[in-house]
Structures are given as C-alpha cells and as structure tokens.
A and B are shown apart, each in its own frame.
Chain A
Amino acid sequence: MTISNTRPITPELIAAHGLKPDEYQRILDLIGREPTFTELGIFSAMWNEHCSYKSSKKWLRTLPTKGDVVIQGPGENAGVVDIGDGDCVVFKMESHNHPSYIEPYQGAATGVGGILRDVFTMGARPIAAMNALRFGEPDHPKTRHLVAGVVSGVGGYGNSFGVPTVGGEVNFDARYNGNILVNAFAAGLAKTDGIFLSEAKGVGLPVVYLGAKTGRDGVGGATMASAEFDDSIEEKRPTVQVGDPFTEKCLLEACLELMASGAVIAIQDMGAAGLTCSAVEMGAKGDLGIELDLDRVPVREERMSAYEMMLSESQERMLMVLRPEKERQAEAIFTKWGLDFAIVGKTTDDLRFRILHQGEEVANLPIKELGDQAPEYDRPWVEPAKPAALAESDVPQADIADSLLTMLGGPDLSSRRWVWEQYDTMIQGNSLQRPGGDAGVVRVDGHDSKALAFSSDVTPRYCEADPYEGGKQAVAECWRNLTATGALPLAATDNLNFGNPERPEIMGQFVHAIKGIGEACRELNFPIVSGNVSLYNETNGQGILPTPTIGGVGLLGDWRKMVRIGFAAEGEPILLVGAAQNWGTHLGQSIYLRDVHGRTDGPPPPVDLAHEKRVGDHVRALIASGIVTACHDLSDGGLAVGLAEMAMASGIGAAIDTPSADPIPAFFGEDQGRYLLTLSIRPDSAEWEALRAEQQKLGVAAALIGTTGGAELKLGQAHAISVEKLVTTHESWFPRFMGT
C-alpha cells in the first residue's frame, strides 16, 4: 500500500517523528503552512540529533580543527590531512550503535560500509579500517550473541570490500548491557589535487543517482538513532539497513574511475536519511536549489511512496552533480560495474528543495533553512562531581605475579586474537603492523619509505570518574600509541558516545569531555578533522559510560625505522621513560583495583600535557635515531602489563629490578605519559652516558629498570612467570568466553 502524502498531520504523528512541539512550531513559522507528510519526514530526518548535531554543535565549535597539515576539517564526509609529495590521508570515525544492538551483523556491517563510503566519496581509496567495540558485561545473556554478530558483521563487510582492519578496541562493562557501541574508522589515500567535495556548482546541471537500488530498508533510521531505547526495541528491527559489500566494492571502483574521467562536479554518499540528507547538503552548500523526480529513482520494491523514498537508508548509493557533456562516458563506467545510473533531477537557482512524484509536487521547502535553521540547543549541564582521591595509606596489597595473571586473563586485558583473526588484516599487502601492537601501520602505496599509523583509544571508566581528565587521556593515549611506533601524530577524528543530553548530568559529562579533548588536541598539536556524535545511548534511563573515542593518524617518514612492542633480543637494557621516581604511583580507577580488589573508586590518573609532549617527542626522536629496538606505551594495567605484553609479543622474558618504594603502585599504577623502551646500546657505553645527559637536559625522567632475556618475566621480588604461562593465560579468556 502506498502511504498517502495527504495524511493528516496530528500531534501524535509529529511526536512519532521525534519532533518536539516547539520544533514543529519552528517548521510552521519557517514555511508558513502545514507541511505535507513527506515534508514532515524530511524535517524529521534533517532536524534529528544524529543529522543536525543540535545539542552538541555549540561545544563542537570549541575543538581545534586547523593545523599546518589540515586540508579539510569537519563538515565534509571526512577530514583530509596532507602527508607530503602530493598525497593526503582522508579519514573519519562514525558510530552505528543503535542498529548494531538491534541487529548485530547488519548493524555492524553497514557501519563499516557507511564509513568506507564517506572516505571514497572524497576520492580516496580506503587503505585501513579500525573498530572500537564496547559490549555489556560478559555474563549478560545478550553479550555473546552481540559479540559474535558484530565481529562477524565487521569482518563480513570489510573483508569482502577488501580493506585491512589494522586496529581497534574491544571492552566489556555492565553499563553497555542495553546499548553497545560500534564505532567504525576508515582511512583512505588520495592525491591532494584529486579531492572531491559535496558542494554543488552550476545551475541546470544533472543530479545523478548512482549505485544500488532504493528499497524500504532503514526508513527512519536516523530518527531511531536519536531516541533512547526501551523495551519496545524489537519493533525497531525494520529500521536497520542491510549491507551488500559486493555492490560497495563495485561502487568504489566505479566512483574512482568516474572521478578520474573528470565527470564529477560534486558527490555525496547517501548515509543517514539517504536521499534527503545528500540532496539538501549538496544544494545548501552550493547555494543552489535541487529538484528531484522520484519516478526516475531506481527502486527494488513496488509502490514506494515519496515519503519512503526520501527516508530510505538503503545502502551503497551516491548522489552526484555531473558535467553534462560527460554523461555517456559516466554511464558506461557504471554499466560496466553493473550499477544503476539515473539522472533523477537538476540543480536550480531558486534555493528550493522540490520533490516530484507521479506528476505531483509532494514537497517544496527552502533548502538552506532545512540545514541551517535546524534548532540548536544550549542544553543545561551540571558540573560532574569529582571523586575523592585515595588516601595515601590506601594501597591494597596482593601477590604481584598472581595479580598480573588475573588481569591478563580477564575480559578487558586478555588477547583479542579471537576477534581480529576474523578480520582480513593483510589485504593490499601494505600492513606493517597488524592488531595486537600499539598502533596499526600501513605503507603508503607508491612511496618507498612512508607509512601511516592508526590508533583508536578511550578509557571510559576514566571518563565516567572525571570526564575532563578522561577526555584529555583519550587524546593523549592515542597520540602516545602513534608515537610508540615512531610515527608523528598528525590529526584525529572523534566519535563522541554519550547518554541523553536532555539530562543535565549527561550534558555535563559531554561538555567536560569536549573541554578535555580540546585542550589535549591543542597542546599536542593534534587537531580534530572529522567526527561524529552519538547521543541518547541509554536504555530505560541508564546511560552508557561516557565514551569519546579518538581515532588518530600518524606519519612515519621511513618505515624501516619503525619499532614494535615485542622485545627484540636478549640482554638488552629496558628503559622506563616519563615515569616518576617510584615508576608508578596512581591506583585510582586502575584495572588492578577493579579486577583484583573489586574497587572502582578514586580519580583517574591526571594527564600533564606538557610532560606528555616532552616525553613523546623525545621517544620519537630516539626511535628515529635508530637505537630503540622495541617500544610500548603504558596504559591499562600499568608497568607490569606493559612488560608482559612486550614479552608475549616476542617470547623473550625479562628480569626487572625491585622498585625502591611499594611495588604495587610501581607495577600496577596507571600514571600517564610513560613508555617502555629497549635499546641497542649498552648501559656502560659512551652513547648511554650521552643519552642520559640529554634526557637530563630535556627534563625527561628515565629509569633503567631491568634487562631482557630468558623465558620468564620476573618482576622484582615476585615469583617468576614463564612467558609461555603468560601467553596461555592471555590467549585463553576470549575463546573460552565465546565457547570456541
């Protein structure tokens, strides 16, 4: 049955479209009449939180988005950063949280598909992907099902499309029980003079529809993603889209061929709110009107209404403004790849968004106002309460070796091999570092020494305890992970996942996290060039942990100088760089307190950004000098876990000195700005003396804490653990949990 365009607009219908009464009044004021049913759908798609950023815009504007290497900041499909020699890297991270909870395989798959499309719409060939996944507690009845579905969906799409997944995160916490997070990152490589944007230019030019046909899947998806969940969630399954990676791979090749032919004036992928959002964006950015004739839209279902076509989120589709003289050449490229190519409209000079269907005008709206006049809110927020510091005497004791094994064999620190072996990590033949290290590293195709490093980071429990410090820490850890490979961090993308912004305490978390992120990005010269905000991540009033995921990109001038986390040889000195005299001090919010003592109290470790930068720049310079044989940053679990990870990655053990103070904070404290390095120079050499003198001059603390070698890890006075035992413990949790 076709839904009529003359359906009466009732308060119930308005509410069902996620529009508040004052927002509806704004529509009436704007157009001076009652909207048609199709128009109501269009407003709902453009003005929901997901598309309009109405709660977050005010705060997003405070983020640093410019820098020497930034070619394109936020506002396009993805950010663009110069990497020299006429090449640039194009990247973004985006959430697909709500769909993935409702239908994990398709939700995750289309999340990957959407972010890949964002990247290749700009003219870039995707070269790397990452995924930051947060699930509920392992014992929750839905968790296994969600893990299995999401992981196979990520792999199912990315593997078939042909992009290596080189990094990511997987965490578990009860606060995600009813609302998991699936944040997908993609990066592509383009020529700086071959970037394509969405701004339409020229009046009377053809608007072309490319890719897959339009169906009823995903109608209203963006509006769904802007609402909280409750127990009626099963009814929302039809709003999840279905992905077809084969079509996307063909679309990639066809688009890149088309772009090379010179036929493209402007191009925009159809993501959230499909045809509506893409058309409005192209027109509004170019100060042009757009007229669409829906009878020409390729459809795969019969009797679709204008409303359904305008709100469909069918995947693998693009909209383009074409140079008319290239029409036949363009069509031939799409025919070759078996894809639809249809002229569905034209650009106009009247700044109207006009939709024709079966000879009738079903919508006629002011195109600029649809985007620009979306409501914007300065939502009230409250200062988050700061947790009290742990008393100095409050250092709960436990056996060091046993605690290390407990942590390494637990849900959060155990190996993620079960996950990433389902992802193709080496396709394209350029992967230099695959998952399991500090960052994924991929060679730059066509260049003999350059490589790009990628890392995705956030510590949600820190953000929950102190959103400001947690925001800083997410950026700092990402910057540190890139640095630990030897890469110079260039820029980042942010994927801000929070609860309901209409609650002042949630808005307080958001505001403070953004402040922390902004400050860290400024201090570390690490601008935010793209991103996505996902709010309303709550179920039945319980919000998720605040989770502002940071995806960072770094550049290695010469990948032959890159280092990895595994100990490289026996008998090498181990240097702890950036630590206080007692190696580690901060136990608040540590994995040790949580996993060994069941405590989640205290403030997170503070990040001293000047220190972070000083230490990181020094480590990077040391790696470039060629004397560093392995490097690993310290994060969750502190020094003990860092050492264990270096040993497990190579099979070589280490003997570590006895710390001068209490070994518990020394080995398990999560103080920030620290790195473990092994060096090819000997502690009694002249080079060593020179290094120590330089570190003193720079004000970078560094302690010689032990030596690599043997088949055991011995932490001070604790009993030695064989590397084999570490590996078995580390590798067994995930397969056991998943039952395979």
Chain B
Amino acid sequence: MKSAVVLLPGLNRDRDMIAALTRISGQPPVTVWESDTAIPDVDLIVIPGGFSYGDYLRCGAIAARMPALRAVAEKAAQGVMVIGVCNGFQILVEAGLLPGALMRNTSLKFVCREVKLEVANANTAFTRNYRPGQIIRCPVAHHDGNYFADAETLARLEGNGQVVFRYAEGTNPNGSINDIAGIVNDKGNVLGMMPHPENLIEAAHGGTDGRALFESALGIAA
C-alpha cells in the first residue's frame, strides 16, 4: 500500500514519520507540499508532528487553511485513510475533519515522556493489529494536547467507539477529558492522536509498540 506525508513549514517530525513509514512498508512515502492542490493516489495520508507556522495564532489553525489540507479533506471524503499525529491531530481538528479541541496542557508546560495507552477500540483500520484493551507504551511530546469536547460530542464519540486510544494507568500527561489520547471520525478513516507511535517502532527506540498502528493502516499482517 502507498502512503503520503504532508510537509508544511515548521513541522519537524516529518523525517521521523518518513523513516517509520519507509521502514515498515518497505517504500518511502510520497511527499505533499503546503501549496499542492492535489494528492497522488495513495491509501494512507499522514500529517506529522511539529510546530506548523510556529503554532502562531493557534496550534494547527494556519495549516488547516492551506491548499494541501483542502486536498487532504477531499481525499478523506473519498475514504482514503488519514493519520494526524500531534500537530497533525491539532491540524485535523482545526480543519474540521475531527471534532473537539486541543487545549494547553493543564501543567502549562511542554511535556516529553513515555506514557501508557489503552487500545480502547481495536476494531478500526488503524488498530486492528492490536488486541482489544491492550496496554502499549508510547512517547508524547507536546505543549497543547489537552483534548476537550462538549458533553454531547463526547457522548457520541464514546458511544460510537470513536475513542481509539486512552492514556492508561494514571499516565494522562495533559489533562485530556476521559483520558482521550486519540480519536477517529465517524466514518472511521481519519485518526488523530497526540502520542508519537513513529518514535517507538524499532529496537533502537527501546520498543516496537508503535509499529502495529502503521502495520494496521498499511494492511501488513502482524
């Protein structure tokens, strides 16, 4: 399966993501620049982490209005899988492709550490190679990862099984409501998550818990 990575000025985990996708799928992803109005035929589009446009104005707000994001929205509407990690998640929320908002961490500080995640829904295109309820390790590195949604949206997300990853074992690093670390849209083809699975995919990273996410999305058997 083919993948694409969206590149925007200020994103900085693009190289990590390209390395992870290349290592796992055996072929490098194509790249899409901020001004590109069309995305080639791929099965998976990834928006990596970083500080697009300096996170000025509001995290992800400027990026969400770039031509490349309109192209991502079109592809998402056609059913192409989309993953947004960290700043990518913030961008998807700002672009209206995922509900809710990502607020400043309750500590008001940037936080980089390893947390535990519970696979709250293993029945998605992104998580099928995990076991239901599996607890995995995953790094986080962000300043604005405090997920919030109004009561009605939250009830819908929880009711539909759209909460895919939850911070587990008391490791919620940012104050997210219901310990939410990652969600999918109602169609199930757009995933946003704050933690960085691309930084835990090989022995040198000290673990491979993030691998199954990309293998699921790329249709690689576990």
Question: Chain A residues in contact with chain B, CB under 8 A?
Answer: 152, 155-156, 159-162, 244-247, 249-250, 337-338, 420-430, 432, 443, 559, 740
Contact = CB atoms under 8 A, between A and B. Distances in A.
Contacts of B79: none
Contacts of A247: 54
Interface centre among B16, B112, B196 (most CB of A within 10 A): B112
Contact of B112 (A245, A338, A422, A428): A422
Contact of A429 (B111, B143, B205): B205
B9 A426 contact: no
A249 B9 contact: yes
Contacts of B16: 427-429
B76 interface: no
B15 A428 contact: yes
A161 B139 CA distance: 19
Shortest 9 CB-CB contacts between residues of A and residues of B = A162-B12, A246-B54, A160-B51, A429-B16, A424-B141, A424-B112, A246-B10, A422-B110, A155-B110
B55 interface: yes
Nearest to A338: B9
A179 to B, nearest CB: 26
A161 B51 CA distance: 8
A166 to B, nearest CB: 12
- State the majority secondary structure of interface residues on B: mixed
A155 B53 CA distance: 17
A206 to B, nearest CB: 26
A246 B51 contact: yes
B75 interface: no
B113 A162 contact: no
Contacts of A432: 204
A432 B51 CA distance: 24
Contacts of A162: 12-13, 50
A29 B205 CA distance: 62
Interface centre among A152, A244, A429 (most CB of B within 10 A): A429
B198 interface: yes
Nearest to A156: B110
B106 to A, nearest CB: 10
Contact of A426 (B10, B12, B141): B141
A250 B34 CA distance: 13
Contacts of A338: 9
A559 B139 CA distance: 21
Contact of B107 (A250, A337, A740): A740
Contact of B109 (A160, A244, A422, A559): A422
Given A426-B199, A427-B16, A246 B56 contact: yes
B111 A422 contact: yes
B136 interface: no
B54 A161 contact: no
Interface residues of B, number: 28
Contacts of A420: 112
Given A421-B113, A428-B15, A429-B19, A160 B55 contact: yes
B113 to A, nearest CB: 5
B163 interface: no
Contacts of B83: none
B9 A246 contact: yes
Contacts of A337: 9
B4 interface: no
Interface string B26-57: 00000000000000000000000011011110
A249 B54 CA distance: 9
Interface string B104-135: 00010111110000000000000000000000
B110 A426 contact: no
B64 interface: no
A421 B12 contact: no
A420 B111 CA distance: 9
6 contacts: A155-B110, A246-B51, A247-B54, A422-B110, A426-B196, A426-B199
Contacts of A155: 110
Contact of B12 (A152, A249, A423): A249
Contacts of B13: 162, 427
A250 B143 CA distance: 21
Contact of A244 (B54, B113, B141): B54
A427 B51 contact: no
B83 to A, nearest CB: 16
B20 interface: yes
Contacts of B9: 246, 249-250, 337-338
Nearest to A425: B112
B67 to A, nearest CB: 14
Given A162-B50, A245-B51, 16 more contacts: A152-B110, A159-B112, A159-B141, A247-B54, A249-B10, A250-B9, A337-B9, A421-B113, A422-B109, A422-B111, A424-B110, A427-B12, A427-B141, A429-B199, A430-B204, A432-B204
Contacts of A427: 12-13, 16, 141, 199
Interface in B134-176: 139, 141, 143
A663 B205 CA distance: 40
Contacts of B143: 159
A428 B49 CA distance: 11
Nearest to A417: B113
B71 to A, nearest CB: 18
Nearest to A434: B112
Contacts of B19: 429
A418 B19 CA distance: 30
A340 B43 CA distance: 37
A335 to B, nearest CB: 11
B46 to A, nearest CB: 14
A707 to B, nearest CB: 26
B110 A159 contact: yes
B72 to A, nearest CB: 20
